A and B are shown apart, each in its own frame.
Chain A
Amino acid sequence: MALDFDRSIIGSEFDRTVLEPVREEDIRAYVAASGESSPAGDPQVAPPTFVVRIRGRRFMPENMPNLGRMGFDAGKDIDFGAPIRVGDVLTAVSTVHDIYEKTGRSGSMAFLVLRTVVTNQRDEQVAVIDQKMMFR
């Protein structure tokens, strides 16, 4: 059965959060937990996937259509821009990037792609993160 939802939700912004300044201890803790290294070993610069710990106030739009019973994290794409440094004040803006349906051997699945664009206090783009959720 084709997905039935109001397509005006696609492209809509559902969260804009300005985060607390990045602290050196945050970077140090992430390096220890992930095993990643800071670029050039500089403890003032975060390793690439540090950006995934950014959380806005809302994870999902309030008017989210019902896509299915269970949601799974299906994947993630990250385009990296300016490195994250100690003291950076990051802003995360999240939108519904896409909703689509696929039919596979196990039946029909709906996919939701949430896009978060992260910028720093100099308006440099730090990352574009597409999180793909699968519902069945």
Chain B
Amino acid sequence: MSDAIRFEDIDVGHELPALRLTLTNEQVKQYALIARMPGGRFMSDEDARKEGLPGQIVPGNMSLALFSRLIGQALPGAALTRLSATFRGLVRPAHALVVHGVVTEKHCTDHGDLLECDLVLESADGDRWVTGTASVRLPARR
């Protein structure tokens, strides 16, 4: 792949270009249906309020997908080997989201050349709703 980033191109501290987006209520509903998570909290504001929530929420799995999307866009050619997320707050549709990350470690291992990344999904005001880490295998020049 010609646009693949190589292991040697990335240093610790490298910031992954942020993904900025606002999910619509319909996008969240569609994701939940496709991901087989048909709970009312993911379907509509009305159904979520019946469960005592302030309104429709984004499934945790969709936040994981946003982390994976960030890695895919920031590090083309990389293979995700591990992804971890801690859900700290309710992620809501119709709210501006910023998904970003930074490379924290580099390792050459028997399983390939790996980057470790810290990941954050936060509000436009900097409220951290999901934090995570990822291990990513990159092709090397050698």
Please report A residues at the B interface, Cβ cutoff 8 Å.
29-30, 32-37, 39-40, 47-49, 52-53, 55, 72-80
Q: Point out the residues of chain A lying under 8 angstroms from B35, CB to CB.
A: 30, 33-34, 52-53
User: Is there an interface contact between A35 and B69, defined as CB atoms closer than 8 Å?
Assistant: yes
Among A52, A73, A78, the residue within 8 A (CB) of B87 is A73
Chain A contacts for B30, CB-based, 8 A: 33
Kindly state whether residue B25 has any CB partner on chain A within 8 Å. Answer: no
Pick 9 A–B contacts, CB within 8 A, sort by A.
A30-B34, A34-B31, A36-B69, A36-B72, A37-B69, A52-B64, A72-B87, A77-B83, A79-B82
Of all A-B residue pairs in the complex, the 6 with the closest CB atoms, nearest first, are: A34-B65, A75-B86, A33-B34, A52-B61, A77-B84, A33-B31
Q: Mark B56-70, 1 if CB is under 8 A from A, else 0.
A: 000011101110110
Using known A-B contacts A73-B87, A76-B84, determine if residue A36 contacts B68 with beta carbons closer than 8 Å: yes
Q: Which residues of chain A come closer than 8 Å to B66, judged between CB atoms? A: 35
Asked, given contacts A30-B35, A49-B65, whether A80 binds B1 with beta carbons under 8 Å apart, the answer is no
B81 at the interface (CB under 8 A from A): yes
CB distance from A50 to the nearest CB of B (A): 9
Shortest CB-to-CB span from B114 to chain A, Å, is 12
B84–A35 touching, CB < 8 Å = no
C-alpha spacing A135/B60, complex, angstroms: 17
Q: B80–A80 contact, CB under 8 A?
A: yes
B37's nearest neighbour on chain A, judged by CB, is A53
Expressed in whole angstroms, the Cα–Cα distance for A78 and B119 within the complex equals 14
A30 to B62, CA, bound (A): 11
CA A29 to CA B36, docked complex, whole Å: 12
User: Which of B31, B34, B82 is the one whose CB lies under 8 Å from A78?
Assistant: B82
CA distance A34 to B1 in the complex (A): 23
Task: Name the A residues within 8 Å of B82 (CB-CB).
Answer: 77-80
Distance in angstroms from A80 CB to nearest chain B CB is: 6
Are A53 and B68 in contact (CB-based, < 8 A)?
A: no
